[in-house]
Amino acid sequence: MTDHHSSERTLNIESRLAQIGSINEPTTGAINFPIYQSTAFRHPALGKSTGFDYIRTTNPTRAVLEQAAAALESADAGFACSSGMAALQTIFALFGQGDHLVVSLDLYGGTYRLLERILSKFGVTASYVDTNDLEALEKIVQPNTKAVFIETPTNPLMMVTDIQAVATWAKSHQLLTIVDNTLLTPFFQRPIELGADIVIHSATKYLGGHNDVLAGLIMTKGEELSAEMAFLHNSIGAVLSPTDSYQLMRGMKTLALRMERHEYNATAMAKHLVDHPQIAEVFYPALPDHPGYDVQNRQSSGNTGIFSFKVKDARYIEPILRSIQLIAFAESLGGVESLMTYPTVQTHADIPTEIREAIGVDDRLLRFSVGIEHIDDLIADLDQALEVARIEVEGV
Ligand SMILES: *Cc1c(COP(=O)(O)O)cnc(C)c1O
């Protein structure tokens, strides 16, 4: 928020994004923060440090990214990790034998796999629930529950959770609220301002934004939690390299422009598909008849560029994925290039079929990460693929 009466005027988010890592280096005049490739840092004397000792603990390039990321999410500290999964693993290391977590039902497949196949070995259990249903939350909470973990909107079904309501409920039970904010980014949604304690990002997606860097970010609120996370981040060591830290900052500089275009394109595309005769259903919170529309509008300033849709006939899927040209059939989301994913066999393959189908991830569902190409070209590409599918399935 801008306060024009204050002498210390806070910059708007677009300006803060564009200026990430910008410096005025006195000897060279360099605009951009350099990549410090150094793993070790010389100590001036015994007991003295420049603030940098060893790369895993901290590195100047990574530190600039972490401070910028923390400020964007209104957090007290930021931690850059080697992937979104590394960030999740680091967060989950807060918990141990006998601890229980309450988790969003429609969850990123990798997070589900981490909880069920790895955290379970360390005695951490999880219950999956519609986190928008406070009565269901109340029923599932146990004396050993330590945190609630939510994604909003979820991927791929775009279910929206009221972050403030969940965080308030969680506080009343002394639980931490952890939010995976990958799909909206701090440009559109800032969970810590709504009461969350920890925000996690797969920065591989919108923050990096160009389908060319693997990274994760953790942001924490509060001194004690931030200190504990710093300990885990350093001890586990799944940290981001200086080069990737630079790459990520470079991507983040254009986040505002990209998110505005992603939202514009996804909204236009979703509206186009709602009226399409071969499409059964479109899942996108920007559409007024989406059940999460009001909550989404209240807690976020915009919409993600991802939506999902169900085709009327599962036999359309194969020819569509074979026929799209501009849109790539690939796993991932959030980059400038449009990608189409088939969750049942790709991102959500590790979720048992019964659970997957119970929540609606079935063989007619496609997920579309709408890029920043011209909307007319995207519509033309998908329309021609749908037409190929129609002719092959229905003849003529
Ligand atoms: C991709 C993704 C992750 C995992 O991140 P990686 O960077 O691929 O390790 C976690 N959560 C969500 C919502 C994601 O989309």
Distance CA 64, CA 58 (A): 10
The pair of structure tokens assigned to 13 is 């988010």
Q: Between 351 and 304, where is the model more confident?
A: 304
Whether residue 2 is predicted with pLDDT greater than 70 in this model: the reply is no
CATH 2.40.30.10 given to domain 255-394: no
Q: How far is the CA of 159 from the centre of ligand 1 (A)?
A: 17
Residue 8 has a CB neighbour count (10 Å cut-off) of 5
* 99, 180, 197, 244: the active-site residue: 180
Residue 163 has a CB neighbour count (10 Å cut-off) of 26
322 among known catalytic residues: no
- Closest atom of ligand 1 to 85 CA is 9
Among 150, 202, 213, which residue has the most ligand 1 atoms within 8 Å of its CB, making it the best to mutate?
202
pLDDT tens by residue, 285-321: 999 999 999 999 999 999 999 999 999 999 999 999 9
Residue 20 has a CB neighbour count (10 Å cut-off) of 22
Identify the weakest region by mean pLDDT among 128-132, 184-188, 378-382.
128-132
pLDDT mean over 321-343: 96
CB–CB of 284/307 below 8 Å?
A: yes
* 146, 190, 205, 253: the active-site residue: 205
Beta strands in 296-345 (DSSP E): 306-311, 328-329, 339-341
CB–CB of 334/188 below 8 Å?
A: no
Residue 352 has a CB neighbour count (10 Å cut-off) of 10
Task: Give which of 252, 272, 253 is closest to 264, Cα–Cα.
Answer: 272
pLDDT mean over 349-354: 79
| Fold designation for 13-252 | Aspartate Aminotransferase; domain 2 (3.40.640)
Q: What percent of the chain has pLDDT over 70?
A: 98
User: From residue 218, how far is each of 92, 181, 376 by CA, in Å?
Assistant: 11, 10, 37
Whether residue 380 is predicted with pLDDT greater than 90 in this model: the reply is yes
Q: Between 268 and 10, where is the model more confident?
A: 268
User: From residue 129, how far is each of 93, 102, 229 by CA, in Å?
Assistant: 22, 7, 26
Q: What percent of the chain has pLDDT over 90?
A: 87
Ligand 1 cavity residues, CB under 6 Å: 83-85, 108, 110-111, 151, 155, 180, 182, 202, 204-205, 214, 216
Alpha carbons within 13 angstroms on the beta-carbon side of residue 305 total 32
Q: What is the pTM of this model?
A: 0.95
pLDDT mean over 51-80: 97
pLDDT at residue 3 in the model = 43
Task: Give which of 177, 200, 197, 196 is closest to 101, Cα–Cα.
Answer: 177
Which residue's CA lies nearest to atom 2 of ligand 1?
202
Each domain of the chain, given as residue ranges in start order, spans 13-252, 255-394
If phi over 0 gives left and psi between -120 and 50 gives alpha, with beta otherwise, what is residue 74?
left
Whether residue 322 is predicted with pLDDT greater than 80 in this model: the reply is yes
pLDDT mean over 58-80: 97
Whether residue 109 is predicted with pLDDT greater than 90 in this model: the reply is no
Model confidence at 160, pLDDT cuts 50, 70, 90, reads very high
pLDDT tens by residue, 85-99: 999 999 999 999 999
Q: How far is the CA of 182 from the centre of ligand 1 (A)?
A: 7
CB–CB of 232/92 below 8 Å?
A: no
Q: How far is the CA of 363 from the centre of ligand 1 (A)?
A: 22
Distance CA 122, CA 189 (A): 33
Among 103, 108, 201, which residue has the most ligand 1 atoms within 8 Å of its CB, making it the best to mutate?
108
Model confidence at 155, pLDDT cuts 50, 70, 90, reads confident
The owner of tokens 């092959």 is 392
Model confidence at 351, pLDDT cuts 50, 70, 90, reads confident
133 among known catalytic residues: no
**For the chain, how far is it from start to end, CA to CA, in angstroms?**
56
Q: How far is the CA of 49 from the centre of ligand 1 (A)?
A: 35
* 108, 112, 246, 284: the active-site residue: 108
Model confidence at 7, pLDDT cuts 50, 70, 90, reads low
pLDDT mean over 337-358: 85
User: From residue 200, how far is each of 55, 317, 341 by CA, in Å?
Assistant: 22, 32, 22
pLDDT tens by residue, 242-270: 999 999 999 999 999 999 999 999 999 99
Q: How far is the CA of 333 from the centre of ligand 1 (A)?
A: 9
CB–CB of 389/323 below 8 Å?
A: yes
Whether residue 325 is predicted with pLDDT greater than 70 in this model: the reply is yes
205 among known catalytic residues: yes
pLDDT mean over 340-361: 83
Distance CA 308, CA 383 (A): 16
Whether residue 357 is predicted with pLDDT greater than 90 in this model: the reply is no
Task: Give which of 219, 193, 208, 279 is closest to 79, Cα–Cα.
Answer: 219
180 among known catalytic residues: yes
- Closest atom of ligand 1 to 155 CA is 13
Q: Between 351 and 207, where is the model more confident?
A: 207
The mean pLDDT of the chain is 94
Q: How far is the CA of 203 from the centre of ligand 1 (A)?
A: 8
